[in-house]
């Protein structure tokens, strides 16, 4: 069975601190896809990144970086020099399989990040 665990329910940091959000996944499929979404206080879900199981390269996008490690089944998300606008709930999600198998997403419970000025 597929599962995504975000063990950190809430994190509170002071602006300019670095913060890492953890994500651990479980799947028996060799082909799978990992995602991070951001949900700001306004409520919408914003796509941040997608990674497939064949691509273990880390990704950096501005202050955001992602560390994908198949050996530990983890896909962690780091925000460098956090800002108040980063305050949101962040979800890690997993999809698996090839075309026409639903492409369903399994979400973690979410991590609520609060960045204080």
Residue-by-residue DSSP string for 80-94: SS--GGG-EEEEEEE
Q: Which part of the chain contacts another protein (CB under 8 A), choosing from 16-24, 66-74, 77-85, 106-114?
A: 106-114
Residues 6 or more apart whose Cβ sits within 8 Å of residue 84: 15, 115, 116, 117
Give me 111's structure tokens.
């991590």
The C-alpha atoms of residue 37 and residue 45 are separated, in whole angstroms, by: 6
List 23, 91, 94, 115, residue binding another protein (CB under 8 A): 91
List 7, 18, 40, 47, residue binding another protein (CB under 8 A): 47
- The answer to the question of residue 54 lying near another protein (CB under 8 A) is no
Interface residues with another protein (CB under 8 A) are 4, 6, 9, 31, 33, 35, 37, 43-45, 47, 50, 52, 91, 93, 95-110
């Amino acid at each position: 069975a597929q599962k995504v665990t975000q063990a950190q329910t809430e994190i509170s940091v002071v602006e300019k601190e670095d913060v890492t959000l953890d994500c651990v996944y479980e799947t028996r499929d060799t082909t799978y896809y990992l995602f991070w979404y951001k949900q700001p206080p306004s409520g919408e879900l914003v796509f941040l990144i997608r990674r497939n199981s064949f691509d273990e390269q880390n990704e950096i996008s501005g202050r955001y970086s992602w560390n994908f490690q198949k050996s530990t089944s983890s896909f962690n998300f780091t925000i460098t020099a956090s800002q108040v606008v980063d305050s949101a709930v962040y979800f890690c999600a997993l999809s698996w399989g090839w075309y026409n198998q639903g492409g369903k997403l399994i979400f973690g419970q979410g991590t609520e990040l609060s960045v204080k000025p």
